[in-house]
Amino acid sequence: MPVKNRFAELLPEIKAWRHDLHENPEILFDTHRTSAIVEEKLKAFGCDEVVTGLGRTGVVGVIKGKSNKSGKVIGLRADMDALPILEQADVPYKSKVDGAMHACGHDGHTSMLLGAAKYLSETRNFDGTVVLIFQPAEEGGGGGREMCEDGLMERWGIQEVYGMHNWPGLPTGQFAIRSGPFFASADQFDIVVEGKGGHAAKPYLTIDTTVVASQIVVALQTIASRNVKPIDKIVVSITSFETSSKAYNVIPQTVHLRGTMRAMSEETRQLAMRRLHEIAEGTAAAYGATADVDFRDGYPVMVNSDEQTEFAAKVATSVAGDCAEAEMTMGGEDFAFMSNERPGAYILVGNGDSADVHHPEYVFDDEAMPAGCSWWAEIVEQRMPAA
């Protein structure tokens, strides 16, 4: 694999950074230790500017090239947060935090971008400015949105932005990408069904919320099968069904449903949102019950810009010899907030034959890091060649 020799030399150091981060995972915006480490290293590398506190606990580092005739400014983004998962992977650097784990490889993403930052600070073999973005709260907290709302793009004049994620099942160090819609929107909803509780031996005196809620669960699946075009992608999943009673002989007064909705276009997203309300409320009314729907916007569809995607694939091919066409995924990714503000591209780097992300036995493959670091560095050096 034609990676940069400097990253092969730095690999033991970069691995040590990742293992330390892995042992000390932090969730959502509570990345105080991680952010402090990132800040310390960026300053030690000699970044021209290091700013903390964007998006609450985000960190930004700025590196200027040997020249700036192009006036180009490129953003490179890595996420830092872990997940509330109890680790079951058998590794010597296992999480020391009970119930928290880097089960999505954000420790690897942060370490790879730090490795690229060290190299770029040493060489500065480019014409322009690179802005290193270390983001908290990707796992459902919307840290990307908060960093953008804090003026990330405007403050440094970022013109385009690039992101990366490791991908189990893709050969280690290989790349895959696609143009256009890539990761789905990811929204959440709660439905509270209110009926009339009572004795289980006298159901005729009740409005049985378990029956009503069950009908809602089934009916919601018609959004995908009967409301949305078959060629459009949509997922509506009920992930929790909780009654107000745990007794064997009580028909509960209320049932609380929780779920997620995923779509690949804003048009489909809006249609499904409307139908969710109509189906839940209408089904409940048909049985004499009520349904209160609380729908919360999460992450928008993540769309890769055509030009930046073509360039990112070219860079990946120069590093790994090839770049595959990635499939769409119904997972959400809050890099979408950044790529909505600026043209951008998000690429996958192979993690080999590992457990999937968000699994308690997931392990990030350290051997992918030279390829990842090289891709970051080449994005800068090829997009902003030295004058």
Mind listing the pLDDT tens digit for each residue in 165-174? 999 999 999 9
| % of the chain surpassing 90 pLDDT | 98
Q: Kindly give, in sequence order, each residue whose CB lies less than 8 Å from that of residue 218, ignoring residues fewer than 6 positions away.
A: none
Please name the residue ranges forming H helices in 95-243. 106-123, 143-149, 152-156, 209-220, 222
Q: Which of 3-17, 95-109, 129-143, 264-278 is the least confident region?
A: 3-17
User: How many residues appear in the chain?
Assistant: 387
Do domains 5-181+301-383 and 185-299 share one topology? The answer is no
Of the candidates 127, 128, 106, the one whose C-alpha atom is nearest the C-alpha of residue 27 is 106
Inform me whether the pLDDT recorded for 221 exceeds 70.
Answer: yes
Count of Cβ atoms closer than 10 Å to residue 327 Cβ: 9
Q: What pLDDT shows up at residue 387?
A: 85
DSSP secondary structure of 239-261: EEEEES---SSEE-SEEEEEEEE
256 is in an annotated binding site: no
Query: Span 5-181+301-383: which CATH code?
Result: 3.40.630.10
- Annotation: CATH topology of 185-299: Alpha-Beta Plaits (3.30.70)
> Measured in Å, how far apart are the chain's first and last C-alpha atoms?
28
pLDDT band at 4 (very low <50, low <70, confident <90, very high): confident
pLDDT band at 2 (very low <50, low <70, confident <90, very high): low
Distance CA 164, CA 182 (A): 13
Q: What pLDDT shows up at residue 112?
A: 98
Domain ranges of the chain: 5-181+301-383, 185-299
278 is in an annotated binding site: no
19 is in an annotated binding site: no
What mean pLDDT comes out for the span 165-184? 98
106 is in an annotated binding site: yes
Inform me whether the pLDDT recorded for 295 exceeds 90.
Answer: yes
Inform me whether the pLDDT recorded for 275 exceeds 70.
Answer: yes
Average pLDDT score over the chain: 97
What mean pLDDT comes out for the span 114-141? 97
Inform me whether the pLDDT recorded for 358 exceeds 80.
Answer: yes
Burial of 204 (0-12, 13-18, 19+ CB in 10 A): exposed
Inform me whether the pLDDT recorded for 1 exceeds 70.
Answer: no
323 is in an annotated binding site: no
pTM: 0.95
Please name the residue ranges forming H helices in the chain. 5-23, 32-45, 106-123, 143-149, 152-156, 209-220, 222, 266-286, 306-320, 336-341, 369-383
Inform me whether the pLDDT recorded for 82 exceeds 50.
Answer: yes
Inform me whether the pLDDT recorded for 182 exceeds 70.
Answer: yes
Of the candidates 204, 199, 187, 31, the one whose C-alpha atom is nearest the C-alpha of residue 109 is 31
What mean pLDDT comes out for the span 40-53? 98
